[in-house]
Amino acid sequence: MDTPYAIEMLNITKRFPGIIANDNITLRLKKGEIHALLGENGAGKSTLMSVLFGLYQPEEGIIKKDGKEVSIKNPNDANALGIGMVHQHFKLVECFTVLDNIILGVEDTKNGLLQKKEARKKVVALSEKYGLSIDPDALIEDITVGMQQRVEILKMLYRDNEILIFDEPTAVLTPQEIDELMKIMKNLASEGKSILFISHKLAEIMKVSDRCSVLRKGAYIGTLETAKTSIEELSAMMVGRNVNFHVEKQEKAPSDVVLDVENLCVKSETHNLDAVKNVSFKVRRGEIVCIAGIDGNGQKELIESITGLTNAHSGSIKMLGKDITREKIRKRNVMGMSHIPEDRHKHGLVLDYSLEDNLILERYFEPEFTNKAGFLKRKNIRKYADRLIEEYDIRSGQGAITIARSMSGGNQQKAIIAREIDKNPELLVAVQPTRGLDVGAIEYIHKHLVEQRDADKAVLMVSYELEEVMDVSDRILVLFEGEIVGEFDPKKTTEEELGLYMAGAKRDEVKA
């Protein structure tokens, strides 16, 4: 039977207790095409791919490969059928070499001893054929994220996989690396590999895919030829309404300095060197300053020293003219600093507390919530929580008494934002405020950040998403290896230029 389809997933239904993750979804992957799978968080993309990769068994529906029905019970079955996957979080052993990682699980042996010569030849040949430059003897922990991703791709090619699944592959890459990945994907497709590409970044999908299937809330919405559609159409399909991509912002002149960082040096948590080196900058009222850079270039340490989670060993941090370099976190909070932390589970919420208790975490000691004897005023807390839930549209199963752990990521983030913004801060520090959230929630959060700016507050944001950086900020600082290597006006720069600075290819002398 001749068919143009490499994989057909027909009428797949997968239920979990309480929800239908995939409701009668049909996905057909043509041979040699790049097929994007688009959807918000929780739309069922990952579940569908997990079904294809053998991690879940669907209740209904069948999977066909080359027109023949197959059963995929575990990842080994998927591998045997030539289905390979690059997971969002790489599955690489850090202290192994590139070569060892590629052959792991399919090693050649002779008399029980490993034979790596042939494997090395094959890997080198594959890397040349597809333009995937790697060093087979380098350790994973020493190479860049981009190269790690190439290792993951080579892992699939080494196993002669025909169908390649990429799960949000661009989330961790610089713009240059993304361009390179796009080239590699096109290259692979032209060599006859079929590619499934999961993403919620519309620009990439437009750029690289041939066709695009959209899922929403577990249901199949449709499949489009990418060439015949637009970003607006795709996003409307994905969200179910029209989304405003560009953050609406009025011109506004920044006024007084709120945060003044001078010659700040912070030790790294992982090694002995300084993660933040001699950094100086100012944040003024009425502006959003955004720190751009690739993850791991000192953002974490910089923010932690500003918010008080760690101490800088030299330099100074002034807020509203007062030196707070060594102040306690409570003091900083009371002075008007708000912090939307990067890791909302670790630093943002007490997951096993109720929503209302989480909402008063930073204010429980105020007379409104604690009486003179030191007991909590439960009634007031409930009233306060109900107001925030209403105002900030925090959705949860049981309202104020919902345990934070049981809430969705987007609503957890909304709770944090409600708490941090409602205390009317002078300075809002937001680290990756939209991480892992879908378009609708991102729009909501950006709106609130801009509102703060318009209310004459100072906002300091850290983001690894260039699009977000360009969109939201009034001023961009690029951090590379702990130093500020460039300062930009988002209206006068491009993502490409920022990318060069983020990768360390260019740098300016920057004065605060």
Q: Smallest gap, in angstroms, from Cβ of residue 162 to another protein?
A: 17
How far is Cα of residue 382 from the mean position of the Cα atoms in its chain?
33
Contacts (Cβ under 8 Å, ≥6 apart) of 72: 51, 52, 53, 54, 63, 78, 81, 83
Nearer to another protein, 126 or 376 (CB): 126
Q: Which residues contact 464 (CB under 8 A, 6 or more apart)?
A: 292, 293, 294, 295, 432
For residue 459, what are the β-bridge partners?
Answer: 288, 428
Contact between 25 and 199 under an 8 Å Cβ cutoff? The reply is: no
Of 113 and 253, the one with the shorter C-beta distance to another protein is 113
Cβ 107 to another protein shortest distance, Å: 4
Neighbours of 129 (CB within 10 A): 11
Site string for another protein, 305-344 (x = CB under 8 A): ----------------------------------------
Task: Check residue 273 for interaction with another protein (CB under 8 A).
Answer: no
Of 211-250, which residues contact another protein (CB under 8 A)?
none
Min CB(230)–another protein separation in Å: 35
CB of 101 to another protein, least distance (A): 8
Looking at the Cβ atoms of 92 and 224, the one nearer to another protein is: 92
- Find residue 118's DSSP bridge partners: none
User: For residues 140 and 450, which CB has a smaller minimum distance to another protein in the complex?
Assistant: 140
62 φ/ψ angles, rounded to the nearest 5 degrees: -130, 160
Distance, CA of 319 to CA of 326 (rounded, Å): 12
Judged by DSSP in three states, 144 sits in coil
Query: For 300, left (φ over 0), alpha (ψ -120 to 50), or beta?
Result: alpha
- Tell me how far, at minimum, the Cβ of 17 lies from another protein, in Å: 14
Q: Which is nearer to another protein, 103 or 421 (CB)?
A: 103
Q: How many CA atoms lie within 13 A of 323 on its CB side?
A: 8
Query: Which is nearer to another protein, 164 or 462 (by Cβ)?
Result: 164
Q: Which of residues 380-439 bind another protein (CB under 8 A)?
A: none
Q: How far is the CB of 104 from another protein (least distance, A)?
A: 5
Nearer to another protein, 54 or 218 (CB): 54
Q: At what angle do helices 439-454 and 409-422 cross, to 10 degrees?
A: 10
Q: In angstroms, how far is the first alpha carbon of the chain from the final one? A: 68
Comparison of 55 and 247: residue with beta carbon closer to another protein? 55
Contact residue for another protein among 14, 65, 150, 155 (CB under 8 A): 155
Residues 43-82 that bind another protein (CB under 8 A): 55, 75-76, 79
Chain residues 83-122 in contact with another protein, contact rule CB under 8 A: 85, 87, 90-96, 100-101, 103-107, 109, 112-114
> Measured from the CB atom, is 74 or 371 closer to another protein?
74
- In this structure, the dihedral spanned by the alpha carbons of residues 208, 212, 216 and 219, taken in order and rounded to 10 degrees, is -150
Contact between residue 8 and residue 44 where contact means Cβ atoms under 8 Å apart: no
Minimum CB–partner distance for residue 191 and another protein (Å): 23
Report, in Å, the least distance between residue 90 CB and another protein: 8
Burial (0-12, 13-18, 19+ Cβ within 10 Å), 378: exposed
* Count, residues near another protein per rule CB under 8 A: 25
Q: Shortest approach of another protein to residue 100 CB, angstroms?
A: 6
- Quick one: how far is CA 275 from the chain centroid? 22
Identify which of residues 103 and 164 has a Cβ nearer to another protein in the complex: 103
Contact yes or no for 98/133 (Cβ under 8 A): no
Nearer to another protein, 85 or 459 (CB): 85
**Closest separation in Å from C-beta 80 to another protein:** 9
């104020």: which residue's tokens?
Answer: 400
Query: At its nearest, how many Å lie between another protein and the CB of residue 267?
Result: 14
Task: Give which of 288, 214, 299, 207 is closest to 247, Cα–Cα.
Answer: 288
Spatial distance between the Cα atoms of 437 and 465, rounded to a whole number of angstroms: 12
What does the binding site for another protein look like in residue numbers (CB under 8 A)? 55, 75-76, 79, 85, 87, 90-96, 100-101, 103-107, 109, 112-114, 155
